[in-house]
Amino acid sequence: MLCHSLASNNILKIKMKRNLLLVLALSGILGFGQTGSDCNYSVISDRTSNGENITTGGNFDYSAATDFDVVSGKILTAKQLSFNVMKGTSPVSYVNVYIMKENQGMPGDVIHTFTNLIPISQVLEYNSTVEDVDVYKISIDFPTSFDLPKGKYYIQLKAALADGTSVFWEINKETTRKLGRFDFTKFDSDPWFGGFSYYDHVFELVGNCNDTGEEQPTGTPFSTGNPGDSHEGGVHMVWTSLADDFVVPEGQKFIFTKFKISTLQLGNIKYATINIRKSENDLPGEILHTFENVGATTENFYGYHPVAGFPLDVVAADVEFNWNQPVELLPGRYFIEVIAAPFPFTDYQRWEVTPNAGNDLDSVVSFDGGESWESNPGYNYVFEVSGFTNPYLSVGDVKKSDISVYPNPVSDILNISSNQSISKVIIYNPAGQIVKTITNLQDNKVEVSGLSKGVYFVSTISENGESKTFRVIKK
């Protein structure tokens, strides 16, 4: 596993070279704190004296990126940034900061750029165990505040020291549970590189959090799935569809907000397409909801484990996905399907299995895109679905909605045909981000002329609480 460290005993006296040093994979803690309207996103140092090269201003240009999530129902107005660096006595002369939107589990487009920022303070945090370098907290004020709505973002940093020597962004060790994802690094204009380690950079982003007024899920907390902690094996995830069942209890409507799977891997799941399917003849049936190419919100490290027949120990990691738009499910049995994107450099990517009893049915796998399914007899995938439940009449006590949309593809107006009143229509893009919400539907028509061309998912919620999602092409 790769990452970049202060492994040299005389790192500040060595000229920067393109090849970064290879060391242990490390991890961190990402936290969200809020008092009134003030809030911060932070990773606290575990004082392990490791760092990643972010030196700029010389012959070479290094940078690194760390992630954070603005929670649903909030808008973050960012004002100040602090981060820990490992360096010698020379002060940081300037910092370049780039705020990027997440794209399929990696740093995406830059949405805010701040260059040549002069630190407002540089404070010694602790004396490190590496010769000639110590850890300092660097603080900067953004020249203008900026707003970030809910979603995942990355902070990219570059820094220059007054004497031109190297500076490293402090990172934490891998065994620390974290709420963020592992981080990324790059040299000059090379592509982003990352995923072989589970460390986190130490930082604090400070600002104000304001309520958006967006309705938040409520009810009784509920979770179900298949527990397991043996880390003995799993089913191959690359180029296959894997699915397992879960049950929404009778008399309850389930507001599904989070999905977590346990994996065995070398590398990581950058992103995945996740489908929620009906159960038909005890196998995955019609797709009710689709989240295409969504990056994971969190990934937590649970050690290295030997796998029979494989020459290397592999990483056990829990990977969690959050839905930007909660999914409502009525009582009954469902299947959740995962189609993971292949990861370069290795094809070892497994959804962990357990022989423990699950939700009645065995896990299944498909090699033809979900057209046919094969059972894994006696095994269930290790996963958890979670959210909230609210009382609901049994399916037999309500009139089932008969809903369709047309035309598809659509240019300007999308018509909704339904035998019941539609209380809400939500349109979201393949990443699960809401692009339009209609709560006062007129003549069952939805104006879509303002949307860009591409694929969207239109979720309708009828008066009895039943939801149905359609894949629609905007031409």
Local structure of residue 228 (DSSP, 8 states)? -
CA distance 344 to 144: 39
Q: What is the C-alpha separation between 213 and 232, in angstroms, rounded?
A: 46
Kindly write down the DSSP assignment for every residue of 85-124, as one continuous string: EEE-SSPEEEEEEEEEEEETTEEEEEEEEEEEEPPSEEEE
Torsions phi, psi for 397 (to 5 deg): -95, -5
Look at residue 162 in the predicted model and tell me its pLDDT: 96
How far apart (Å, rounded) are the C-alpha atoms in residues 298 and 282?
31
- Which DSSP letter does residue 417 get? E
Q: Which residues of 293-324 are buried (b: 16+ CB within 10 A; e: fewer)?
A: bbbbbbbbbbeeeebeeeeeebbbbbbbbbbb
Query: What are phi and psi for residue 384, nearest 5 degrees?
Result: -145, 130
Is 124 within 8 Å of 53 (Cβ atoms)? Answer: no
pLDDT at 267: 73
pLDDT on residue 50: 92
- The pair of three-digit structure tokens given for residue 352, joined into one six-digit string: 């962990």
Contact between 335 and 365 (Cβ < 8 Å): no
- Which sign, positive or negative, has the C-alpha torsion 62, 40, 33, 209? negative
Per-residue pLDDT of the chain (475 residues; tens, 9 = 90+): 223 333 332 233 222 322 232 222 222 333 444 434 678 888 899 998 999 999 999 888 999 999 999 988 889 999 999 999 999 999 999 999 999 999 888 899 999 999 999 999 999 999 999 999 999 999 999 999 999 998 899 999 999 999 999 999 999 887 766 655 567 899 999 999 875 567 889 999 999 998 887 778 889 999 999 998 788 889 998 879 999 999 999 999 999 999 999 999 887 788 899 999 999 999 999 999 999 888 888 888 888 898 888 888 888 989 999 887 788 999 999 999 999 887 666 668 899 999 877 667 899 999 998 899 999 999 999 999 999 999 886 544 444 557 888 998 899 999 998 878 888 898 888 766 788 988 888 888 999 999 999 888 888 888 766 778 888 889 8
- Dist CA 433 CA 428 (whole Å): 5
Per the CB < 8 A criterion, the answer to whether 102 and 152 are in contact is yes
Surface-to-core class of residue 183, CB atoms within 10 Å of its CB (0-12 exposed, 13-18 middle, 19+ buried):
buried
The two tokens of residue 445 are 């028509």
Q: What are phi and psi of 65, to 5 degrees?
A: -135, 140
Q: What is the pLDDT of residue 398?
A: 45
Q: Indicate the SS3 state at residue 182.
A: coil
Query: Rounded to whole angstroms, how far apart are CA atoms 66 and 56?
Result: 17
Among candidates 96, 89, 69, 77, which has minimal Cα distance to 148?
77
CA distance 68 to 148: 11
SS3 12: helix
**Half-sphere exposure of residue 239: CA atoms within 13 angstroms, side-chain side:** 2
What are φ and ψ of residue 456, in 5° steps? -135, 165
Q: Which residues contact 419 (CB under 8 A, 6 or more apart)?
A: 399, 401, 402, 403
Tell me the C-alpha to C-alpha distance, in Å, between residue 10 and each of 6, 13, 207, 224, 382.
Answer: 9, 6, 38, 52, 46
Which residues make Cβ contacts (< 8 Å) with residue 1, sequence separation at least 6?
Answer: 24, 25, 196, 197, 315
| pLDDT in the model for residue 61 | 96
Q: In Å, how far from its chain's centre is CA 250?
A: 31
pTM of the model: 0.76
